[in-house]
A and B are shown apart, each in its own frame.
Chain A
Amino acid sequence: MGTIEAAAPDINKFGFMTTTLNDAIGWARKFSIFQYPFVTACCGMEYMSTACAHYDVDRFGAGFPRFSPRQSDVLFVVGTISHKMAPVLKRVYEQMCEPKWVVAFGVCTCTGGFYDNYATVMGIDTIIPVDVYIPGCPPRPENVLDGLIKLQAKIQSQKQEV
């Protein structure tokens, strides 16, 4: 998936390819993910493991975390979100420029996980829209990469607003 030969099987034969603008923009966008890691809890260790050399998220074009929401286009919500933190998360999401996507990393962000108490938000999708859910407590790096590939597929297949 993702190789130029797969997208245009005759490219080596003819030296050019045809595509649509929508597909070309999607291809560019899915391989240039600037992520904003919103790390609050233990899932952060697994995020770091995924981001570093051993699993190397840069192979998927997502190796460049931006610590400003204004310069990023994928929000990685990594770890438990408390009710006290929820307005901050929403503010960060609103500060990101379009197009933007959200990944819920770990079961706490997906559903609240095993927390069912006064402090914890029962899933960040009650606050902001989520594109990809990666469950696990914490998810293994392979699982994260699988989620990232699914996000890439989603970016590729959607209508590209320019």
Chain B
Amino acid sequence: MSLALAQAVLTKFPQHVTGVEDRHGVGVAVVKRESIRTVCAALKDDPDFRFEMLMDLFAVDYLHWEERDVRFDVLYSLYSYSKKHRVFLRVHVPEREVVVDSVAPVWPGANWFERETWDMFGIRFEGHPDLKRILMYEGFEGHALRKDYRYNKRQPLIGPLN
């Protein structure tokens, strides 16, 4: 079970993990922001976990959510091919300091995921080898998937502002 796995992550790293959640049957371990790279590196090599694969990495903007005091979350979807199990990690990222340690040194596949998250949400990844926009063009201002980016704001390279 995925929730049991998140519990095991908590038991393994009690100093780095602040809690577990069950989200629609998927276990989510909430990791401290400053510990994410340590935890990921350990989970990758630990014989109990063996998370060789970072399936996905993305962010959520919780602007206007009254029950939340931290604006952003970064989520990590981890999968183990050898043990056939999966877990999610969640990191809270406050608006005053929108930066997380990069996990590209742990999984090279994180490189483009983190560039996309930077491009769309403006979350900086400390230690990323080449953190630049991946989808939008040079000169695009702001980050398009932030909730305070007006949905119909246009920044055309050519043509009118329609």
Q: Which residues of A contact B (CB under 8 A)?
A: 83-84, 86-87, 90, 116-119, 121-123, 126-127
Contact = CB atoms under 8 A, between A and B. Distances in A.
B137 A118 contact: no
Contacts, number: 41
B137 A84 contact: yes
Contacts of A126: 159-160, 162
Contacts of A117: 144, 151-152
B64 interface: no
Contacts of A118: 136, 144, 149, 151, 153-155
B91 to A, nearest CB: 26
A86 B159 contact: yes
A87 B159 CA distance: 9
Contacts of B136: 84, 118-119
Name A's interface SS. loop
Interface residues of B, number: 16
18 contacts: A83-B137, A83-B154, A83-B159, A84-B135, A84-B137, A87-B158, A90-B158, A116-B152, A117-B151, A118-B136, A118-B149, A118-B154, A119-B136, A121-B156, A122-B162, A126-B159, A127-B158, A127-B159
Contacts of B135: 84
A83 B155 contact: yes
A83 B153 contact: no
Interface string B119-162: 00000000000000001110000001000010111111111101
A118 B157 CA distance: 12
